[in-house]
Chain A
């Protein structure tokens, strides 16, 4: 479902998706620098799995393919290996632009449905922000059970040996279910993130004000 801010963005930037990306997407001002050489696409470890590899996304942004770009699964294929960044002859921070486009598509309510990396990434963020540090056990179990209880039991049974191996090696601890690691100044930590979220939302919101 698209968001109110999405509607406002469509109205404000009508016909100029490149400007919208430049103004609102993390590192989006770099998109116009792409010269379509395709080194990024050829350097990506998951290259064959992208519907639209990075250089194609950049051209689609210029061609105002707003809906196709923002609802694409493509940016969710980024493993953050930085190979494209290291090789781009124009020095575009492609990894960050992919992260930025992915996050922006969520902000606009246009993320693809049932995209596993989108789902796992959100679980990861919720997990780390809850206590300030990642709880690996709860994250792993949450992932196994994301498609319901019955599916979760099946997946967990399949992963039993892996889990036992990790516990034997003391690299997974059942104690993490009971609280687990976290920051001491948790209320301050939460207030800090809330403030950062507010400031960012206000900045994006300002760009939707009718002028």
Chain B
């Protein structure tokens, strides 16, 4: 039996062939290393993300996360819910708080849930994978697992929005959270703590509907990383990762820049530092490769 077990909410973008399947793969590897077992919530559904409000009213959106929570309560009663995606985590945690503070909404949600023969109680702890690493595993254990320190990497830690606000990680500030920098340093890389776009917005779902406005925000996020001397951006958020990585060609065309900045997940860095292969760290899931990280992985 694994040392740590959780009720896992993977989310749509982590599925096979979806936009953050590399996050999923790298977290799987990380969990092998740290003796963590993630039990997927059976038959989970989408959380509605941040843009669902256009079509979904308050109650239908709440019901989405309530179904996932009720399934977790039923199948994994003694395990905390853990999500790797910022929006999945935020929505699930937020819905639980709001339902537990509003008896009318909670009662109506439970009427809707009768259609799927479930009942929502609201007694789960909803956590982000980063919280598991910091609080249940700890920096010391993470540091002790390092076999290949990530020397030569200068990393801009891009925390983004939804892993940071409105909940954030316990003990961290909204304006300048330090945990990502601490993780980076634990792995033997250099954390660029003065990176000033650490908690800036990547435009989220508006990258799709308002590409000009979105790309203007991402341009600043990448430019600031170059200005800080970074050779890599690292982030915990799947939408931040995608928005900052995959439109660099478009941004270069629009702004006459020459951006070629790798954007990795914290989990990929950990996998490599813990001695796992490029394949296990899902480095091939990135469009812009970091030569230095690959060299360390292949060493």
**A189-B59 CB under 8 A given contacts A45-B203, A85-B165, A171-B285:** no
**Contact partner of A116 among B67, B204, B210, CB < 8 A?**
B210
**A172-B17 CB under 8 A given contacts A117-B54, A121-B53, A197-B57:** yes
Are the C-beta atoms of B18 and A171 separated by less than 8 Å?
Answer: yes
Are the C-beta atoms of B43 and A185 separated by less than 8 Å?
Answer: yes
| Interface stretch of the complex, out of A2-10, A14-22, A57-65, A159-167 | A159-167
Are the C-beta atoms of A199 and B108 separated by less than 8 Å?
Answer: yes
Are the C-beta atoms of B162 and A82 separated by less than 8 Å?
Answer: yes
Q: How many residues of B contact A (CB 8 A)?
A: 64
What chain A residues lie within 8 Å of B15 (beta carbons)? 133, 181
Are the C-beta atoms of B45 and A132 separated by less than 8 Å?
Answer: yes
Size band of the A side of the interface? Answer: 35 or more
- Dominant secondary structure at the A interface: helix
Binary per-residue interface labels of chain A (107-127) against chain B in the complex, 1 for a CB within 8 Å, 0 otherwise: 100000000111111101110
Does chain B have a CB within 8 A of A211?
no
What chain B residues lie within 8 Å of A170 (beta carbons)? 17, 21-22, 284-285
**Chain A residues numbered 86-111 whose CB sits less than 8 Å from any CB in chain B:** 86-87, 93, 95, 99-100, 102-103, 106-107
Does chain A have a CB within 8 A of B115?
yes
What chain A residues lie within 8 Å of B210 (beta carbons)? 46, 116-117
**Chain B residues numbered 1-41 whose CB sits less than 8 Å from any CB in chain A:** 12-13, 15-22
B→A interface (CB under 8 Å): 12-13, 15-22, 43-46, 48-60, 62-64, 67, 108-109, 111-117, 161-162, 165-166, 174, 200-201, 203-206, 208-210, 213, 217, 246-247, 249-250, 284-287
Identify 16 residue pairs between A and B in the complex whose beta-carbon atoms are under 8 Å apart, listed by A's number.
A79-B201, A80-B205, A81-B165, A103-B53, A103-B54, A120-B54, A124-B52, A125-B51, A132-B45, A134-B13, A173-B16, A183-B43, A192-B113, A196-B108, A197-B57, A197-B60
